[in-house]
Amino acid sequence: MTVALLIILLVVLGSGILGVVAAGRGEMNLERWSVGGRRFGVILVWLLMAGEFYTTFTFLGASGWAYSRGAPAFYILAYGAIGYIVSFFILPPAWRMAKQHGLHTQPDFFLARYGSPMLAGLVAVVGVISIVPYLQLQLTGLGLIVEIASAGAVTSTVAITVAFGLTTAFVYTSGLKGIAWVAIVKDLMMIVAVVVIGIGLPAMYFGGIGGMLAELLRQHPSHLTFPGGTRTMGTGWVMSTIVLTGCGYYCWPHAFASAFSAKDERTIRRNAVIMPLYQLPVLLVFFVGFTALLVLPGLKNPDTALLALVTRSYPAWFSGFVGAAGAVTAMVPASVLLLSSATLIAKNVYRPLRRDPVDDAHLMRASRVVVMAVALIAFVLTLWAPRELVNLLIFGYDGISQFFPGIVLGLFVRRATALPVALGLVTGEAVVISLIWTSRDPFMGMNAGFVGLAANVTVAALAMALGKRIEN
Amino acid sequence: MRPAYALIPAAVPVVALVAGLPFANRLEPMVLGMPFLLAWILGWVAATPAFLAVAYTIHRKASAGPGAGGGR
């Protein structure tokens, strides 16, 4: 066993124990497990939200795209800012409604607002389907970390299996509160790792960030403007992707529901104001990707660029630290995703489908079964259908961003009803799936998810206008 | 002032980060050693909290009064 691998395993086990301890004793019910009892203050909510968005995607995916794509990766820096601006306006009224009706999940919101269990069920199913690639992303990243840290001694299959086991065990025992506390450890490690390598690596090889960028522009003059190292990701693709992912940022079921755990509206607005700053370290991650392109050109899998360069440049203990930061950065979001999808299926699909009443203890057991099932699906896909990290996330966004019209109409347009929203949602998903299926993403230079979103909005608006005419 | 006026400052970074991109897609002039495109995106993301702070103030002033806010 290598030193790096040992450090990673110790940190992962330590986080697991911290999660269990932080969850505390006392009876676990669905309210406590899924929204932490709705008592989190500004700091814990901030950490939890950051914990959800700072994932393996940021760490390995962003550096991988900076390495292979160049400028199109810049969308990753921009979309969070747009997402927080959107959240400033949509989360406080959503929180108010959640508090008023005692909501736990995103489909609960659709049910309370539109009164249609069918629409709520549809939202739950689409949400879970979109979560699967996001979960797959975390498992893939975790697998890469363990594989590289062990210098090939542990195969990726074994690494992913271990990752899967640890994550499910963690969710089973601790729930949301445990995850929030581990998120603190994760964020600290992540920030330290990113700052040290983001500044250190360009300095080590090129005397500094300026020197590295100058060398990059000399060797690859078109890498830092759109479409960078790609043919299809021009300015139109980046613009449409920023709009899509910015609108979708808080459409993730777990992100939308995480706002419910806040103590008050002001906590949420203040969060939105400061959160864009949290996005800035992504710049340093890009610098690592650029340095790797110059020092280690021709890597077979760009997602390994950061880890490969770190392993080559630093002593084993530090590589272990970076690997451990990456591992926890995969585990925390994976747990949040699992917890969220389990609650969705148990509460918004399973319970309405059963004729007999289902009590909370029963629902809790059902949630735990779903955790296992969803984790297994992601696990199988990770092993048999591997994909690039950023593409996995964009697939997820293609799906969940289609909730955006329903959320905005639900909050701000009183006469919006279930049918137009459902028609728009189904149209949007159908457009996205058919474009991706026929390999037409990007479509006319735009992100397929954005095309779906445009179709979604158009259909919902037309249906609303028609409904009004029929009424009159 | 109405709470909806908070949308105005909040819209500025959105316009810059989306509609501004076709104009910002260039290397020159370099800013702090960074190509213009990267500096443009970075600058607007860094400035977003300032615009949202203005939106926050507008919103708070506009919705101040009995029963508003729901804070402590």
Residue A38 pLDDT exceeds 80? no
Residue from A76, A273, A411 to probe the interface with B (highest B Cβ count within 10 Å) = A273
Q: Residue A230 is which amino acid?
A: T
Of A78, A217, A270, Cβ closest to residue B41: A78
**What backbone torsions phi and psi does residue A251 show, to the nearest 5 degrees?**
-85, -15
CB contact under 8 A, B13 and A270: no
Residue B71 inside a domain? The answer is: no
Which has the higher per-residue pLDDT, A256 or A259?
A: A256
**Residues B35, B27 contacting (CB under 8 angstroms):** yes
DSSP at A276: G
Of B10, B26, B33, Cβ closest to residue A88: B10
Residue B41 inside a domain? The answer is: yes
CB contact under 8 A, B53 and A273: yes
Q: Which residue of B has its CA nearest to A210?
A: B33
- State the nearest Cα–Cα gap between B6 and chain A, in angstroms: 9
Which has the higher per-residue pLDDT, B71 or A116?
A: A116
Looking at residue A32, what is its pLDDT? 54
CB contact under 8 A, A276 and B27: no
How many residues would you count in chain A?
Answer: 472
Q: Which of A383, A391, A398, A457 is nearest to A432 (CA)?
A: A398
Residue B72 pLDDT exceeds 60? no
B70 band by pLDDT with thresholds 50, 70 and 90: very low
Residues of A in contact with B40 (CB under 8 A): none
Tell me the pLDDT tens digit for each residue of A405-453.
999 999 999 999 999 999 999 999 999 999 988 888 888 889 999 999 9
Q: Which two tokens stand for residue A107?
A: 């489909």
Q: Which residue of A has its CA nearest to B27?
A: A225
CB under 8 Å to A18, separation ≥6 — which residues? A178, A181, A182, A185
Looking at residue A48, what is its pLDDT? 62
Give the structural domain span for B36.
3-62
Domain ranges of chain A: 3-388
What residue ranges in A355-442 does DSSP mark as E strands?
none
Tell me the pLDDT tens digit for each residue of A302-352.
999 999 999 999 999 999 999 988 888 888 888 888 888 888 888 888 888
Residue B46 inside a domain? The answer is: yes
Residue B68 inside a domain? The answer is: no
Residue B27 inside a domain? The answer is: yes
Domain count for chain B, please give it: 1
d(CA A342, CA A257): 13
Of B34, B35, B52, Cβ closest to residue A85: B52
- Residue B35, classed as helix, strand or coil, is coil
Of B6, B10, B46, Cβ closest to residue A280: B46
- State the nearest Cα–Cα gap between A429 and chain B, in angstroms: 24
Rounded to the nearest 10 degrees, the angle between the axes of helix A3-23 and helix A117-149 is: 150
Residue B72 inside a domain? The answer is: no
Tell me the pLDDT tens digit for each residue of A387-401.
888 888 888 999 999
First to last CA, chain A: 75
Residue B23: Cβ-neighbour burial (10 angstroms; 0-12, 13-18, 19+): exposed
The residue whose two tokens read 């950065």 is A329
What residue ranges in A15-69 does DSSP mark as E strands?
none
d(CA A293, CA A126): 37
d(CA A254, CA A275): 17
**What backbone torsions phi and psi does residue A91 show, to the nearest 5 degrees?**
-70, -40
Which residues of B make CB contacts under 8 Å with A?
A: 6-7, 10, 13-14, 17-19, 21-22, 25-27, 33-35, 37-38, 41-42, 44-46, 48-49, 51-53, 55-56, 59, 69-72
CB contact under 8 A, B10 and A214: no
ipTM score here?
A: 0.90
Q: Which CATH class is domain A3-388?
A: mainly alpha
Residue B40 inside a domain? The answer is: yes
Looking at residue A160, what is its pLDDT? 83
